[in-house]
Amino acid sequence: KTFVFKVEKKEKRVSNMRVKIKLRDMGVKRQPKVWLIVQPSKSNLKGKYIERIGVWHPMERKTVKRHIAMNTHRANYWLSVGAIPTKGAHRVLSRYGLVPELPAAYGSAQLYDRPEHVYKETHYRGFQNVKFSANKVAMHYKQKLQEEMNLIERKRRLAREAVESAGGPLSRAESAIDTDAEDTEDIDSDEADIFERTKKFERVLKKFNKHRDESLVSLRGNDLRYNVYLKKLEKLS
Protein backbone atom coordinates (compact mmCIF):
# COMPACT_ATOMS: atom_id res chain seq x y z
CA LYS A 1 0.00 0.00 0.00
CA THR A 2 1.14 3.45 -0.77
CA PHE A 3 0.30 6.33 1.47
CA VAL A 4 0.04 9.84 0.17
CA PHE A 5 0.77 12.63 2.61
CA LYS A 6 -0.35 16.13 1.86
CA VAL A 7 2.02 18.82 3.07
CA GLU A 8 0.38 22.14 3.52
CA LYS A 9 2.69 25.11 2.98
CA LYS A 10 2.28 27.94 5.40
CA GLU A 11 2.09 31.32 3.82
CA LYS A 12 4.69 33.84 4.95
CA ARG A 13 3.24 36.78 6.76
CA VAL A 14 4.72 40.07 5.72
CA SER A 15 4.43 42.63 8.49
CA ASN A 16 3.89 46.27 7.65
CA MET A 17 7.17 47.39 9.19
CA ARG A 18 8.41 50.91 8.70
CA VAL A 19 11.99 50.95 7.46
CA LYS A 20 14.44 53.83 7.44
CA ILE A 21 17.80 54.39 5.77
CA LYS A 22 20.16 55.82 8.36
CA LEU A 23 23.76 56.86 8.91
CA ARG A 24 25.57 55.10 11.75
CA ASP A 25 28.93 56.23 13.11
CA MET A 26 31.18 53.17 13.30
CA GLY A 27 34.56 54.92 13.50
CA VAL A 28 37.04 55.38 16.30
CA LYS A 29 39.22 58.27 17.41
CA ARG A 30 40.96 59.98 14.45
CA GLN A 31 39.51 57.32 12.11
CA PRO A 32 35.90 58.28 11.30
CA LYS A 33 33.77 55.82 9.38
CA VAL A 34 30.03 55.98 8.71
CA TRP A 35 27.81 53.11 7.61
CA LEU A 36 24.69 53.53 5.49
CA ILE A 37 22.27 50.96 6.89
CA VAL A 38 18.65 49.92 6.51
CA GLN A 39 16.99 49.62 9.91
CA PRO A 40 13.45 49.40 11.26
CA SER A 41 12.10 52.51 12.90
CA LYS A 42 11.47 50.60 16.14
CA SER A 43 13.18 51.47 19.39
CA ASN A 44 15.45 49.24 21.49
CA LEU A 45 16.97 47.40 18.53
CA LYS A 46 20.35 47.11 20.30
CA GLY A 47 22.32 47.88 17.16
CA LYS A 48 20.55 45.39 14.89
CA TYR A 49 19.92 46.34 11.28
CA ILE A 50 18.54 44.66 8.16
CA GLU A 51 21.25 45.43 5.63
CA ARG A 52 24.30 47.58 5.15
CA ILE A 53 24.18 49.24 1.74
CA GLY A 54 27.15 51.60 1.91
CA VAL A 55 30.13 53.01 3.79
CA TRP A 56 31.50 56.55 3.98
CA HIS A 57 35.10 57.46 4.86
CA PRO A 58 35.08 61.24 5.43
CA MET A 59 38.80 61.52 6.29
CA GLU A 60 41.73 60.63 4.07
CA ARG A 61 44.41 58.43 5.64
CA LYS A 62 47.51 56.63 4.46
CA THR A 63 45.70 53.39 3.62
CA VAL A 64 42.21 54.67 2.80
CA LYS A 65 41.23 57.63 0.65
CA ARG A 66 38.24 59.85 1.26
CA HIS A 67 35.33 58.24 -0.56
CA ILE A 68 31.75 56.91 -0.44
CA ALA A 69 31.07 53.30 -1.50
CA MET A 70 27.41 52.36 -1.89
CA ASN A 71 25.36 49.59 -3.47
CA THR A 72 23.02 51.71 -5.57
CA HIS A 73 20.91 48.71 -6.64
CA ARG A 74 20.01 47.78 -3.07
CA ALA A 75 19.50 51.43 -2.14
CA ASN A 76 17.13 51.83 -5.09
CA TYR A 77 15.29 48.66 -4.02
CA TRP A 78 14.73 49.84 -0.46
CA LEU A 79 13.56 53.22 -1.69
CA SER A 80 11.12 51.51 -4.07
CA VAL A 81 9.54 49.48 -1.26
CA GLY A 82 8.97 52.58 0.89
CA ALA A 83 12.10 53.03 3.01
CA ILE A 84 12.37 56.61 4.30
CA PRO A 85 15.89 58.11 4.44
CA THR A 86 16.86 60.37 7.29
CA LYS A 87 18.18 63.89 6.70
CA GLY A 88 21.83 62.83 6.62
CA ALA A 89 21.18 59.76 4.47
CA HIS A 90 19.07 61.88 2.12
CA ARG A 91 22.08 64.10 1.39
CA VAL A 92 24.25 61.06 0.62
CA LEU A 93 21.64 59.47 -1.64
CA SER A 94 21.08 62.75 -3.49
CA ARG A 95 24.71 62.66 -4.63
CA TYR A 96 23.92 59.52 -6.65
CA GLY A 97 20.65 60.91 -8.03
CA LEU A 98 18.49 58.39 -6.17
CA VAL A 99 16.45 61.07 -4.40
CA PRO A 100 15.95 64.79 -5.13
CA GLU A 101 17.97 67.32 -3.19
CA LEU A 102 16.57 68.79 0.00
CA PRO A 103 14.87 72.19 -0.28
CA ALA A 104 16.83 75.31 0.54
CA ALA A 105 17.13 76.55 4.10
CA TYR A 106 14.50 78.80 5.55
CA GLY A 107 14.78 82.37 4.33
CA SER A 108 12.89 85.29 2.89
CA ALA A 109 12.27 83.45 -0.41
CA GLN A 110 10.92 80.29 1.25
CA LEU A 111 7.25 79.36 0.99
CA TYR A 112 7.23 77.33 4.21
CA ASP A 113 7.00 78.85 7.67
CA ARG A 114 9.93 78.45 10.01
CA PRO A 115 9.07 76.04 12.83
CA GLU A 116 9.11 77.43 16.35
CA HIS A 117 12.05 76.38 18.47
CA VAL A 118 10.96 74.39 21.52
CA TYR A 119 13.27 74.91 24.51
CA LYS A 120 13.72 71.99 26.88
CA GLU A 121 14.08 72.21 30.64
CA THR A 122 17.81 71.48 30.38
CA HIS A 123 18.28 74.72 28.43
CA TYR A 124 17.61 76.81 31.56
CA ARG A 125 19.79 74.85 33.99
CA GLY A 126 22.83 77.05 33.50
CA PHE A 127 20.94 80.26 34.34
CA GLN A 128 20.42 79.37 37.98
CA ASN A 129 24.15 79.62 38.74
CA VAL A 130 24.63 82.96 36.94
CA LYS A 131 24.89 85.96 39.26
CA PHE A 132 24.34 89.33 37.62
CA SER A 133 26.28 92.10 39.33
CA ALA A 134 25.18 95.71 38.99
CA ASN A 135 28.76 96.91 39.54
CA LYS A 136 30.05 94.88 36.59
CA VAL A 137 27.33 96.21 34.33
CA ALA A 138 28.01 99.79 35.45
CA MET A 139 31.75 99.36 34.94
CA HIS A 140 31.18 97.93 31.46
CA TYR A 141 29.09 100.89 30.29
CA LYS A 142 31.29 103.41 32.07
CA GLN A 143 34.28 102.01 30.24
CA LYS A 144 32.43 102.38 26.95
CA LEU A 145 31.61 105.99 27.80
CA GLN A 146 35.22 106.64 28.79
CA GLU A 147 36.43 105.34 25.44
CA GLU A 148 34.02 107.68 23.65
CA MET A 149 35.19 110.58 25.80
CA ASN A 150 38.79 109.80 24.93
CA LEU A 151 37.94 109.93 21.23
CA ILE A 152 36.23 113.29 21.70
CA GLU A 153 39.21 114.54 23.69
CA ARG A 154 41.65 113.54 20.98
CA LYS A 155 39.52 115.17 18.28
CA ARG A 156 39.26 118.35 20.36
CA ARG A 157 43.00 118.54 20.92
CA LEU A 158 43.72 117.95 17.24
CA ALA A 159 41.18 120.59 16.25
CA ARG A 160 42.66 123.06 18.75
CA GLU A 161 46.18 122.50 17.46
CA ALA A 162 44.97 122.96 13.89
CA VAL A 163 43.14 126.19 14.79
CA GLU A 164 46.13 127.54 16.71
CA SER A 165 48.37 126.90 13.75
CA ALA A 166 45.84 128.57 11.43
CA GLY A 167 45.08 131.42 13.86
CA GLY A 168 41.28 131.09 13.67
CA PRO A 169 38.76 130.94 16.55
CA LEU A 170 37.12 127.78 17.90
CA SER A 171 33.57 126.89 16.93
CA ARG A 172 30.69 126.93 19.45
CA ALA A 173 30.54 123.10 19.57
CA GLU A 174 34.28 122.78 20.18
CA SER A 175 34.31 125.47 22.86
CA ALA A 176 31.40 123.78 24.68
CA ILE A 177 33.56 120.70 25.41
CA ASP A 178 35.11 120.46 28.86
CA THR A 179 38.31 122.53 28.98
CA ASP A 180 39.92 121.17 32.15
CA ALA A 181 42.83 119.75 30.21
CA GLU A 182 43.39 123.10 28.47
CA ASP A 183 44.03 124.80 31.80
CA THR A 184 46.98 122.52 32.46
CA GLU A 185 48.59 123.38 29.13
CA ASP A 186 48.99 127.01 30.27
CA ILE A 187 50.97 125.83 33.29
CA ASP A 188 54.63 125.90 32.41
CA SER A 189 56.70 123.12 33.96
CA ASP A 190 59.99 124.95 33.35
CA GLU A 191 59.32 127.59 36.00
CA ALA A 192 62.51 128.55 37.86
CA ASP A 193 60.76 129.87 40.99
CA ILE A 194 60.17 127.00 43.41
CA PHE A 195 57.15 128.72 45.00
CA GLU A 196 55.43 129.17 41.64
CA ARG A 197 56.16 125.57 40.79
CA THR A 198 54.57 124.49 44.09
CA LYS A 199 51.42 126.52 43.39
CA LYS A 200 51.14 125.08 39.91
CA PHE A 201 51.74 121.58 41.27
CA GLU A 202 48.91 121.98 43.80
CA ARG A 203 46.63 123.38 41.11
CA VAL A 204 47.22 120.40 38.82
CA LEU A 205 47.01 117.98 41.74
CA LYS A 206 43.59 119.36 42.66
CA LYS A 207 42.32 118.78 39.13
CA PHE A 208 43.97 115.36 39.13
CA ASN A 209 42.24 114.27 42.35
CA LYS A 210 38.89 115.59 41.15
CA HIS A 211 39.13 113.66 37.91
CA ARG A 212 40.30 110.51 39.71
CA ASP A 213 37.29 110.59 42.04
CA GLU A 214 34.90 110.98 39.14
CA SER A 215 36.36 108.16 37.06
CA LEU A 216 36.99 104.51 37.88
CA VAL A 217 40.39 103.38 39.09
CA SER A 218 40.55 100.56 36.55
CA LEU A 219 40.32 102.98 33.60
CA ARG A 220 43.65 104.75 34.16
CA GLY A 221 45.37 103.09 31.22
CA ASN A 222 42.68 104.22 28.74
CA ASP A 223 42.03 107.68 30.25
CA LEU A 224 43.73 110.39 28.19
CA ARG A 225 43.09 113.21 30.68
CA TYR A 226 44.48 111.13 33.53
CA ASN A 227 47.72 110.61 31.58
CA VAL A 228 47.95 114.34 30.77
CA TYR A 229 47.64 115.28 34.44
CA LEU A 230 50.12 112.61 35.48
CA LYS A 231 52.79 113.75 33.03
CA LYS A 232 52.32 117.36 34.11
CA LEU A 233 52.74 116.40 37.77
CA GLU A 234 55.90 114.48 36.98
CA LYS A 235 57.39 117.53 35.24
CA LEU A 236 56.46 119.87 38.09
CA SER A 237 57.74 117.57 40.83
Q: Are residues 76 and 138 in the same domain?
A: no
Confidence at residue 80, expressed as pLDDT on a 0 to 100 scale: 92
195-226 pLDDT, tens digit per residue, is 677 777 788 888 877 777 776 555 555 667 77
pTM for the predicted model, two decimal places: 0.40
Confidence at residue 195, expressed as pLDDT on a 0 to 100 scale: 65
Of 219, 210, 207, the closest CA to residue 146 belongs to: 219
Quick check: is 128 in a domain?
A: no
**Parent domain of 163:** 134-236
Q: CA-CA distance, 14 to 17, in Å (whole number)? A: 8
Q: Are residues 75 and 147 in the same domain?
A: no
Dihedral over Cα of 170, 174, 175, 181: its sign: negative
Q: CA-CA distance, 230 to 227, in Å (whole number)? A: 5
4-62 pLDDT, tens digit per residue, is 545 455 544 445 678 999 999 998 888 899 999 999 988 788 888 999 999 999 998 88
Alpha-carbon distances, residue 216 vs 13, 83, 136, 143, 223 (angstroms): 82, 67, 12, 8, 10
pLDDT at 182 over 50: no
Q: What is the CATH number of the domain that holds 80?
A: 3.30.1320.10
Q: Are residues 98 and 140 in the same domain?
A: no
Q: Are residues 184 and 228 in the same domain?
A: yes
Q: How many CB atoms lie within 10 A of CB 209?
A: 11
pLDDT at 142 over 80: yes
Q: Which of 103, 125, 153 is the endpoint of a domain?
A: 103
69-118 pLDDT, tens digit per residue, is 999 999 999 999 989 999 999 999 998 899 998 887 665 556 677 778 88
Exposed e or buried b per residue across 18-49, where buried means at least 16 C-beta atoms within 10 angstroms of its C-beta: ebbbbbeeeeeeeeeebbbbbbeeeeeeeeee
Q: What backbone phi and psi angles, to 5 degrees, belong to 201?
A: -65, -45
